[in-house]
Chain A
């Protein structure tokens, strides 16, 4: 079974530029998550999708971050414009359904973003 695929693996941009990350979840997984992990900290949830609908985006800085999951499969996370403090690893995860239904989430390798 293929895992969660993310691209690119690494990205370096200048502040105020825009950047986009792509995630392909495990086939058949209805729930998709984006996390931000700053060096030395645990991952922080940014947004959660159930199929193509948003379940929770309360932690997403909506003035600069946006995410979509067209057709309920692949997802993209965009930052525009980027700030220095956005330097982090962006992790995508997917699960069959809501975790309360006794399932687990699987993570991709992440995209390491450096803003200079």
Chain B
């Protein structure tokens, strides 16, 4: 199973970019890296995923290192509503999401 390591918590000022790092040195070559977030009392929300190349969507950008051992999720302009637990997730043999403890991001004004 692909295991990930993330900082326990991070702070970010509203309007600034939030850069959330993740180490996933055991991920295999054909497994995607997923990012989800969970706001209190809600189910996890999909943000983005990638394999080798950097990815961008309307929510965030994902930068994956060339060796695929780490990645960074970038929220370009954090708002108070981005305060949540962010999970960098590997998969179980490419079939199911295996969650770790995640990073609690606190965005303040």
Contact = CB atoms under 8 A, between A and B. Distances in A.
Contacts of B46: 104-107
Interface stretch (A13-21, A64-72, A75-83, A95-103): A95-103
B44 A33 contact: no
B100 interface: yes
Contacts of B94: 98-100
A109 B42 CA distance: 5
Contacts of B30: 100
A114 B87 CA distance: 25
Contacts, number: 65
Interface string B77-109: 000000000010001111111111110000000
Contacts of A104: 34, 46, 49
Interface in B31-46: 31-32, 34, 42-46
A94 to B, nearest CB: 11
A48 B93 CA distance: 13
Nearest to A31: B95
A43 B43 CA distance: 10
Contact of A99 (B44, B91, B101): B91
Contacts of A55: 95-96
A110 B95 contact: no
B103 to A, nearest CB: 11
Contacts of B101: 41-42
Interface string B23-66: 00000001110100000001111100101000000000000000
A48 B34 CA distance: 18
Contacts of A105: 46, 97
Interface in A1-47: 4, 31, 33, 35, 41-45
Interface of A: 4, 31, 33, 35, 41-45, 48, 55-56, 91, 93, 98-100, 102, 104-110
